[in-house]
Amino acid sequence: MIKRTLFFGNPAYLNTKNEQLVVSFPEEDKPPVTIPIEDLGYIVLEHPQITITNGLFTKLVENKTAVITCDKQHLPNAFLQPLSGHSEQTERYRHQLNASVPLKKNMWQQTVSSKICNQALHLSSRDKESRKIMRWSGEVKSGDAENHEAIAAAYYFQNLFDHLEGFSRNQKGVAPNNLLNYGYAILRAITARALVSTGLLPSVGIFHSNKYNAYCLADDIMEPYRIFVDALVYNITQREHSFEELSQQLKAELLTIPALNVTIEGKQSPLMVAMSRTTNSVYECYAGVSRKILYPVFDLS
């Protein structure tokens, strides 16, 4: 079942009753709204005047619902995750922590190759030159020793948004960097949620290793999925005349990311479901059951 994503951009009081999320609007003259907690996958809390009860937090965690909070710039900045996400969590942690360096280098090679391949497919689908970048996807070596990821990313963004004057990919750069930042933050939460549900530590990566980053593995595994955010943002730039500010309409569109259709091994499923397949394959690599991470292949249709 596809889980729902809820966005709260106005003052609200959130509590729970009879396994339901109860939403009250103190500044609006309308009755409370109730939603089954079991239907919820993600909740985004943007407005600073939102009150949420501890009882609701507990039920959301038990349901593995991702609760995402936002900063003063209205960008997602935190993610609530359960301490126990899987019945075999301790054993799975052990496999992850004991992973050998050659294994992690092989997993990163697969990840980068898949990401670059998807970038090439996306460029091709937009009738943009992609032969060079597709060739690079097949030249990635163990651990990406030659840093093909960075080289391909520079080429990819330069060509993808060539219709936007002055654009370069930079978190603090001009629009649509704001849309990309927001979409990637949502994707990161989706990835972290799937990793926790699989019984893995989102903070222990296969490539990313910054000691100040609590989501190193999430940042690794989301790489081949970034393309679906890019495609959504590209469509917005082709359709909208103004996207310098993140309007409620644009946020609503970006919050459809968990439900986007993606294809893994010829089978389509919502992105949030596909991500769980990917994170489970990551665990199987750690456990020695498999040597292949299941990543999606980009298809614009």
- Asked whether the whole model's pTM tops 0.85, one would answer yes
| CATH architecture of the domain with residue range 89-287 | Up-down Bundle (1.20)
175-191 core/surface letters (b: 16 or more CB in 10 A; e: else): bbbbbbbbbbbbbbbbb
- On the question of a common fold for 4-80 and 89-287, the answer reads no
129 among annotated binding-site residues? no
Give the three-state DSSP class for 9: coil
Task: Establish whether 223 is an annotated binding residue.
Answer: yes
How far from chain centre, in Å, is Cα 213? 16
Q: For 4-80, give the CATH class.
A: alpha beta
Asked whether residue 149 is marked as a ligand-binding residue, the answer is: yes
State how far the Cα of 161 lies from the Cα of 177, in Å rounded to an integer: 11
In order along its 301 residues, the chain shows pLDDT tens digits of 678 999 999 999 999 999 999 999 887 778 899 999 999 999 999 999 999 999 999 999 999 899 999 988 888 888 887 777 788 899 999 999 999 999 999 999 999 999 999 999 999 999 999 999 999 999 999 999 999 999 999 999 999 999 999 899 998 899 999 999 999 999 999 999 999 999 999 999 999 998 888 899 999 999 999 999 999 999 999 998 889 999 999 999 999 999 999 999 999 999 999 999 999 999 999 999 999 999 999 987 6
Beta strands at 40-45 and 66-70: parallel, antiparallel or unpaired: parallel
| Domain ranges within the chain, ordered by starting residue | 4-80, 89-287
Residue 24 backbone dihedrals phi, psi, to 5 degrees: -115, 145
* 291 close to 234: Cβ distance less than 8 angstroms: no
